[in-house]
Chain A
Amino acid sequence: MIRVSDNPAIDTAAKLVVVAIGMFAFVFVVMVPLYDVLCDALGINGKTSDTAYTSVQAGVDESREITIQFVATNNDGMPWEFRPDVTAMKVNPGASNDTIFLARNPLPQDMVAQAIPSVSPSRAAEYFHKTECFCFNQQPLEGGGVAEMPLQFIVDQELPRDIKTITLSYTIFDVTDMVNGAVAAR
C-alpha cells in the first residue's frame, strides 16, 4: 500500500481526494464516450453512425420489401422550410437507394443548419446504413436560397425479419451562431 503521509488520517484523506478527482474525470473520459459507444451499439435514441458506410452488401434480398418513412422536424427557432421529397419508399435490403430532402432558407441572411438523424424502431438503427447523407456535415444556405439535400442509404440484409417499417427522422437545428462563435473564437 502506498503511503502518502506519515499521518494516517492525512494519508487516508489524500487517497480519497484522488478517488474524488478520479470520479470527476470518470464522467468526462468514461461516461460520455461510453454512452456514445452504447448508443451506436444499441441504437439508443435511434442514433445512426455519423460517418459514411463503406462496406459492400452481398447482393440484394429480393424476397422482402421494407417501407422507409421519412420525417422532417424543425427544432425551435429554425425557420427553414424542410421536408422530404417523398414521404415513403419501399426498398429491398441490400440495395442502394437515393432520395432527397428539400430545404429553403426564407430569411435574408445566410444560415448554417445541422440535421440530426434518428431511426425508429431504434433496434433498426444499426441496420440502416447511410452511404451519403447531408447530415454528415453542416449545411450552409444563403439568404433566400433553396437546396436539394441528398441521402443515399442501404438497409442491411441482416435486418430482423419482423421489422417491416423503418422511420427515418431528421430534426434540423440552426447552428449559425455555433459556427460563427467557433470562427470568432479562432
Chain B
Amino acid sequence: MCFEAKRLAKLALGPVLMLLSMVSAGVMAAGEKVNEVNMAPGVTAVGQNIFDLHMTIFWICVIIGLLVFGVMFYSIIYHRKSRGVTPATFHESTKVEIAWTVVPFLILIGMAVPATSTLLEIYDVEDAEMDILITGYQWKWKYEYLSDDGENVSFFSNLRTPQSEIYNSEDKGQHYLLEVDEPLVIPVDTKVRFLVTANDVIHAWWVPELAVKRDAIPGFINETWTLAEEEGIYRGQCAELCGKDHGFMPVVVNVVSQGEYDEWLSGKKAEAAEIKELMAQTFTMDELMERGKAVYDRNCLACHGANGEGGVGTAIAASAIATGDLAGHLDVGINGVAGTAMQAFGGQINDVEMAAVITYQRNAFGNNMGDMVQPIDVFNHKKG
C-alpha cells in the first residue's frame, strides 16, 4: 500500500513537473521553433502584453497548484489507514470557508486589472495608418488594400504546399502547410487596421506572432489591428472550422520596411497594369496549357482532383461541361454553379487565368477538344 501511494504521488506530480518544464523547454527551443511549448510573445506590443498576462496567470496557477497538491499529497502520505491513524471527525469551519472564498476572489481582482487594460488596448483600432480588408473564402484568403484614390490592390492568397507533399509522395518542405502563393505584405512599425469578413461560412484569421485573431463572418465586418515592430515572415492559420479544407488555408504575413513595402505595392500596381495588357494578347496553345495547369493546381485541384477525377467537385475528365459547348463551360467557370460548392471564379481570377484554365480543362486529363480560349473571349463572355 505504501509503495502504491508513493507511485501515485510521483505520477500525479508528473503533470505539475511537466508544467514547470514548459518555460525552460521554451527557451531551449527558441530559434528553431520545433516542439515549441509556449505561446509566442510575437513582435507586437499587444502580443507582449498578452504573453505577460498569460505567464502571470500561469505562475499564479502553478503556485496555487503546488499549495493545493502539496496539502493533498501530504495528506495522502501521512493520513492513511495503514499508518494506524484514527480519522478526525471535523466537518465544517466557517472561518476556513470564508477565507478560501475571499482569498481567491482577491486574486481574481488582481488578474482582472491587467486583463482589462490589455483588452482596452486590443479594442483601440483608431489612428491606423492603413486599412486592409481580409475576406475568408472556402478555402483561401483575399486581401484588399483600401485606398482613398479608388485603385484598391487586391489578390487571393492560396496554400502553396503541393498535394504531393500532403499525400506523402514527396518529402515535406520546411514550411509545410504554412506557405502561400502570395503573402500579405505590410510595413513595419505601422499601425495596420484589418477589416475582416467572409464570403461563405465563418472563418477566423489568426497570426499568433501578430497577436491577432478575429472571426470572419459572412455579411458583417469585424475590425482589429496590429503594429509589427520587427520585420519577418509570420505564419498562421484559419482558426474556425470552415469545412473540408479548414486545415489548408494558412495565413502568411510578410512584414517589411516601408521602402520595400512601397516598392512591392507599386510592383503590384504595375502587375495589374500588365495583366490589362496581357488581356489584349493572343496566346498559343502551349502557353495557355502551361498557364492553365498552374491556375488549375492552385484553384481547382482541391475539389476536382489532380487528374480531373473529381472529389468534392464533379470529375472534369470526360465531363459533359468540359467536353461540351465552350460558352457553357465559360459560364460555369465565371459564374459558378448555384447551390453547389462551385464558386464564381469570375471575380477571383483574372481573364488571362480564366482563359488559360478553361483551355487546360478542355485539353487535359484525356479531354481533347482542341479549342482555345483567349482572354478577350472571357472578357466578351463577361460582357454578355
- Give chain A's interface residues, CB within 8 Å of chain B: 45-47, 67, 69, 71, 73-79, 81, 86-88, 106-108, 116, 118-122, 143-144, 162-165, 167, 169, 171, 173-174, 177
Contacts and interface: CB of A to CB of B under 8 A. Distances in A.
Contacts of B336: 77, 79
Contact of A79 (B131, B147, B334): B334
A73 to B, nearest CB: 6
- Counting chain B CB atoms within 10 Å of each CB, which of A81, A116, A120, A121 scores highest? A120
Nearest to A164: B126
Interface string B114-140: 000000000001111001010101100
B221 A173 contact: no
Query: Which secondary structure characterizes the binding site on chain B?
Result: loop
Interface in B221-240: 221-223
B343 interface: yes
B221 A167 contact: yes
Contact of A88 (B148, B221, B346): B148
Contacts of B219: 45, 75, 116, 118, 171, 173
Given A46-B221, A79-B334, A167-B131, A106 B125 contact: no
Contacts of B208: none
A70 to B, nearest CB: 9
B220 A45 contact: yes
A165 B339 CA distance: 37
A122 B223 contact: yes
Contact of A121 (B218, B223, B343, B344): B223
A1 B182 CA distance: 69
24 contacts: A45-B217, A45-B220, A71-B221, A74-B199, A75-B199, A75-B218, A77-B336, A77-B343, A79-B335, A79-B336, A87-B146, A87-B152, A88-B148, A107-B335, A107-B384, A116-B220, A144-B384, A162-B126, A167-B221, A169-B197, A169-B220, A171-B197, A171-B218, A177-B338
Given A120-B222, A122-B223, A87 B127 contact: no
Contacts of B218: 75-76, 171
Contacts, number: 107
A167 B137 CA distance: 21
Given A171-B197, A171-B218, A69 B131 contact: yes
Given A76-B343, A169-B197, A164 B127 contact: yes
B133 A71 contact: yes
A106 B218 CA distance: 23
Given A76-B138, A171-B218, 9 more contacts: A73-B197, A75-B199, A75-B200, A87-B150, A87-B152, A88-B146, A106-B346, A116-B220, A171-B220
Query: Which secondary structure characterizes the binding site on chain A?
Result: mixed
B214 to A, nearest CB: 11
Contacts of B133: 71, 73, 169
Contact of B344 (A47, A79, A119, A143): A79
Contacts of A45: 217, 219-220, 222
Interface in B22-65: none
Interface residues of B, number: 39
- Counting chain A CB atoms within 10 Å of each CB, which of B137, B200, B218 scores highest? B218
B154 to A, nearest CB: 11
B195 interface: yes
A87 B147 contact: yes
Nearest to A44: B220
B347 interface: yes
A74 B347 contact: yes
Nearest to A177: B338
B382 interface: yes
A71 B196 CA distance: 11
A164 B133 CA distance: 18
List the 10 shortest-distance A-B pairs measured between CB atoms, nearest first. Answer: A76-B200, A45-B220, A88-B148, A118-B220, A120-B223, A79-B335, A169-B221, A144-B384, A116-B219, A118-B221
Nearest to B200: A76
Contact of A71 (B137, B195, B334, B382): B195
Interface string B295-338: 00000000000000000000000000000000000000011101
B287 interface: no
A119 B195 CA distance: 10
B171 interface: no
Nearest to A172: B219
B277 interface: no
B233 to A, nearest CB: 27
B195 A77 contact: no
B343 A47 contact: no
A74 B199 CA distance: 7
B4 interface: no
A118 B217 CA distance: 11
Contact of B199 (A73, A79, A88, A108): A73
A73 B220 CA distance: 10
Given A69-B131, A107-B335, A164-B126, A77 B344 contact: yes
A130 to B, nearest CB: 16
Contacts of A162: 126
